[in-house]
Structure 1
Amino acid sequence: MKKFAFLAALMAATAVGAAHAEERRITVSAAGTVLAEPDMATITLGVTNENAQAAAAMKATSDAVSQILARLDQMGIDARDVQTRDLSLSPVWAGRGNQAGERPEISGFSASNRVFVRVRDLTQLGAVMDAVIQDGANDFGGLSFGIQDPKPLEAEARAKAVAEATAKAEQLAQAATVTLGPVQQISEQVGGIRPAAQMREFATADAGGIPVAGGEVSVSVNVTMEFGISQ
């Protein structure tokens, strides 16, 4: 019985020691950000038409989109950079919400076709937007700038984040009068490409096109690092 009690006490002491050892860690988080000029833009554009006849509404929309796609091809936009994102046909109701209690009726139809376009030559961006509007685009769902190959920028941002996290850990160890040990664990989260908070003028429009400024985009990587404590 005494032997059993001794073994139980030894195991408990070992567990406490292991837990204490596991607690001897310094965990820090840091972010690395790199700014760069964009070299690509994406546009979501569309065509919407209404008509009393569903077929007529869809035909008008399809004809305009066909003309837009042909124009984009003429301007050198690769087929892989053009994709239909949404095609819809819905009724247009009349008499909804009236006070007389009359039943709403379908007065026509609305046909819509939305297209995603990637522009890899930013000097064409203003001219492309101007051209598709002339060809019938009447619905723009957004414009965003990006980087075609973000991996080198991500690597630079990752190195900055690791350096910042290591510096933080060293400061904490010095303040706590302990010796910083090796890295025990590291994880990262890539923040993606976003518009920079402070944007710089970057003209992208040709003469006669819609004026557009690309500014800068930021690429961010967040890391969490866990260091051991040597003593």
Structure 2
Amino acid sequence: MRRNALVTAVLPLALLLAVPAFAQERPAPSISVSGEGTAYAVPDVATITLGVTAQAENAADAMAQTSETGARILARLGEMGIEPRDVQTSDLSLNPVWSNEPQDNQQPKISGYEASNQVTIRVQQLDSLGDVLGAVLEDGANRLGGLSFGLKDSKPLLVEARRDAVTDAMERAKAYAEAAGLTLGPVLSISEGGTSTPRPEAMMSMRAADMKVPVAEGETGITASVNMVFAIGE
């Protein structure tokens, strides 16, 4: 009984002595902010998605027409200096074409077939972009899936965007600390929040009038975000 009483008396004393230790382990006050930076540059490469679609009564004829036009387009691209590594077939399809809505409880019937051949082209000389588009349209391309601009080397632009993001985060942290009457301390941690490519911010002037399809390249940009934690100074 006396041993149990001793244990019971020592336990509350140990808990009391542990309270200051817990208090010392509390994390120091800090400020957590995020920053964002965007850097822009004139693009130096374009990617085009285009193709040809043809319909015929039977599948073989539809595919033959599409293949013939597709071969003509590929040959023209080679003549214009587009390297084979910059041209890739991105879609090849063949689908039935159904007759109109059924009448008198009759099931719809296949009235023909539609074949489609789509290619993705990377144009590394933007001065020839309008001519390339005009040429493939003349050769029978009847479907344009999209046109986008980019950079052959985006690393320098990404570095600039990351630096701007850090600057933005530091300015925000200073503003919060000053508003709260605090002193901003050193950086405790920094982590990347991610990167993205926004839509072009502005458009440049149209290409020369002698180009068959006028295009505007505008500017391409990269946005980077960062998360930072700052200590609160004394």
Q: 1:100 to 1:28 in 2, by over 3 A?
A: same
CA contact (8 A) 1:122 1:204 kept: no
Q: What pairs up with 1:7-46 in 2 under 5 angstroms?
A: 7-11=14-18, 13-19=20-26, 21-22=27-28, 24-46=29-51
Runs of 4+ in 1 over 4 A off after TM superposition: 9-13
Q: 2:179 maps to what in 1?
A: 175
Aligned mates of 2:109, 2:102 — CA distance in 1: 12
Aligned mates of 2:84, 2:133 — CA distance in 1: 17
TM-score (norm 1): 0.90
Return 5+ residue gaps in structure 2 as ranges: 1-7
Q: 2:54 maps to what in 1?
A: 49
Q: Tell me which of 197, 206, 224 is aligned to 1:221.
A: 224
Deviation at 1:206, TM superposition (A): 6.8
Aligned mates of 2:229, 2:212 — CA distance in 1: 52
What amino acid maps onto 1:29 in structure 2? Answer: S
TM-score (norm 2): 0.89
Larger Rg: 2
Alignment partner of 1:119 is 2:126 = no
Deviation at 1:201, TM superposition (A): 1.8
Return 5+ residue gaps in structure 1 as ranges: none
Deviates more, 1:106-115 or 1:2-11: 2-11
Question: What per-residue deviation string (whole Å, max 9, x for no partner) do you get for residues 61-118 of structure 1?
Answer: 11111111111111111222111111111111113x3342111111111111111111
Q: What pairs up with 1:117-196 in 2 under 5 angstroms?
A: 117-196=121-200
What amino acid maps onto 1:81 in structure 2? Answer: D
Q: 1:196 to 1:16 in 2, by over 3 A?
A: farther
**Percent identity of the aligned residues?**
45
Question: What per-residue deviation string (whole Å, max 9, x for no partner) do you get for residues 2-41 of structure 1?
Answer: 433343445455445434x25x121111211112211111
Q: 1:74 to 1:206 in 2, by over 3 A?
A: farther
Alignment partner of 1:89 is 2:104 = no
Alignment partner of 1:3 is 2:10 = yes
Alignment partner of 1:64 is 2:69 = yes
The DSSP-based 3-state class of the residue aligned with 1:69 is helix
Aligned mates of 1:47, 1:86 — CA distance in 2: 11
Q: 1:208 to 1:157 in 2, by over 3 A?
A: closer
- CA-based RMSD: 1.9
CA contact (8 A) 1:47 1:114 kept: yes
What amino acid maps onto 1:66 in structure 2? Answer: A
CA contact (8 A) 1:127 1:205 kept: no
Aligned mates of 2:113, 2:155 — CA distance in 1: 46
The DSSP-based 3-state class of the residue aligned with 2:104 is coil
Aligned mates of 1:123, 1:40 — CA distance in 2: 10
Q: Tell me which of 108, 132, 149 is aligned to 1:104.
A: 108
Aligned mates of 1:208, 1:169 — CA distance in 2: 51
Q: 2:5 maps to what in 1?
A: none
Q: 1:170 to 1:102 in 2, by over 3 A?
A: same
Question: What per-residue deviation string (whole Å, max 9, x for no partner) do you get for residues 170-216 of structure 1?
Answer: 2222222222222222222443333333x132444572410101111
